Amino acid sequence: MSEKLSQKDRSKIAYLQGGISVATNGLLFIFKYWAGIVTGSLALMADAWHTLSDSLSSIIVLASTKISSKPPDDEHPFGHGRAELIAAIIIGVILGFIGLEFAKDSIVRLVNRESVVFGEFAVWVTAISVFVKESLAQFSFWSYRKTHNPSLKADGWHHRSDAISSLIILAGIFLGSYFWWIDGVLGLIVSLFIFHAAYETIKEGTIPLLGEEPDEELLNDLKAIARQASGMETYLHHVHLHRYGHHIELTMHIKLSGNITLDDAHDIADSIENAIAEKLKIEATIHMEPV
């Protein structure tokens, strides 16, 4: 099990990641778009807007972090952690629209047989962008591993898709003088990377919202904990998992001998619930059935 951070520590990491991303992407957008205007490259200008969209996704991360850190209330008894999942879906949808625009503009450029002449300035801006964006991606993925906030992972993929697209454009810059169609094709390739990132990001957010089946490893852990805490075989089944950001609720059924008293059955269920909370950091609710 990874280290369990407090909500305050999780928020600090998310705020730091979001703040650095917004500032860095703002500067990269200015230089990329400037290089696109100077060269007339659609791929460079599209890549600049891709970078600016990273700032938007980081702002969404900051907003969702603030919302998810709010304590439970009467309307949200399990807290506000699912704001992080909603944020991941929003980021994925934004990525999808950006990819669609890149693909459309690239097709128009190919149909019109438009070519681009790249210069040394474009080379330096694109090379720096690759390094900076992959560094931001690594920091985002580290933040996700520390906090388990899916919107941070989504933001990391957003950064990485930008780094990959910039790397492809960098390669294309050196081929631009040989192939008139290189800028349009690069735009289409970039859009495919963005579509993939959008799909992964949306999937990451929707699966926990729609409900997910506990994986085999978690089921085995639950069975072992129940057996150890109760001192008997409990025939654990009907396990449902409900994620609310870092807070996880779990419901499950166990089977006990019909000969034991209600007090004893209740004590057994309590001991299993407490053991699950201690070892897995999951709040469990157990329904008891006779064997």
> What is the sign, positive or negative, of the torsion defined by CA atoms of 139, 141, 145, 151?
positive
Which ranges in the chain belong to alpha helices (H)?
7-39, 42-68, 83-111, 120-147, 150-175, 182-210, 216-230, 262-280
For residues 235, 238, 244 and 248, what is the CA-based torsion angle, rounded to 10 degrees?
A: 0
Dist. CA 65–CA 150, nearest whole Å:
11
Per DSSP, what are the bridge partners of residue 249? 242, 283
pTM of the predicted model as reported, rounded to 2 decimal places: 0.60
Dist. CA 220–CA 136, nearest whole Å:
36
Give the closest residue to 232 by CA, choosing from 269, 261, 262. 269
| Digit-coded pLDDT (tens) for 218-229 | 889 999 999 999
Confidence of residue 270 (pLDDT cuts 50, 70, 90): very high
**Are the C-beta atoms of 269 and 286 separated by less than 8 Å?**
yes
Instruction: Tell me which of 59-68, 102-111, 129-138, 231-240 is least confident.
Output: 59-68
Rg over alpha carbons for the chain, rounded to the nearest Å, is 25
Confidence of residue 95 (pLDDT cuts 50, 70, 90): confident
Residue of higher predicted confidence among 35 and 42: 35
Instruction: Tell me which of 33-37, 68-72, 163-167, 189-193 is least confident.
Output: 68-72
| Digit-coded pLDDT (tens) for 109-149 | 788 776 666 677 788 888 898 899 899 889 989 988 888 77
Q: How far is CA 89 from CA 94, 144, 171, 190, 206, in A?
A: 9, 16, 31, 20, 7
The pLDDT score that the predictor gives to residue 204 is: 75
The pLDDT score that the predictor gives to residue 117 is: 66
What does the pLDDT average to over 274-278? 91
| Digit-coded pLDDT (tens) for 162-213 | 788 788 778 777 776 677 787 778 778 878 877 887 887 788 778 777 766 7
What does the pLDDT average to over 12-25? 83
Percent of the chain scored above 70 by pLDDT?
A: 88
What does the pLDDT average to over 49-64? 72
**Are the C-beta atoms of 131 and 28 separated by less than 8 Å?**
no
Apex 111 CA angle, 105 and 115, nearest 5: 80
pLDDT greater than 60 at residue 1: no
What does the pLDDT average to over 251-268? 89
**Are the C-beta atoms of 61 and 152 separated by less than 8 Å?**
yes
pLDDT greater than 50 at residue 2: no
Domains observed in the chain: 7-210 (1.20.1510.10), 216-290 (3.30.70.1350)
**Are the C-beta atoms of 193 and 103 separated by less than 8 Å?**
no
The pLDDT score that the predictor gives to residue 275 is: 92
Instruction: Tell me which of 86-100, 173-187, 215-229, 250-264 is least confident.
Output: 173-187
pLDDT greater than 90 at residue 272: yes
H or E stretch including 284? strand 283-290
The pLDDT score that the predictor gives to residue 129 is: 87
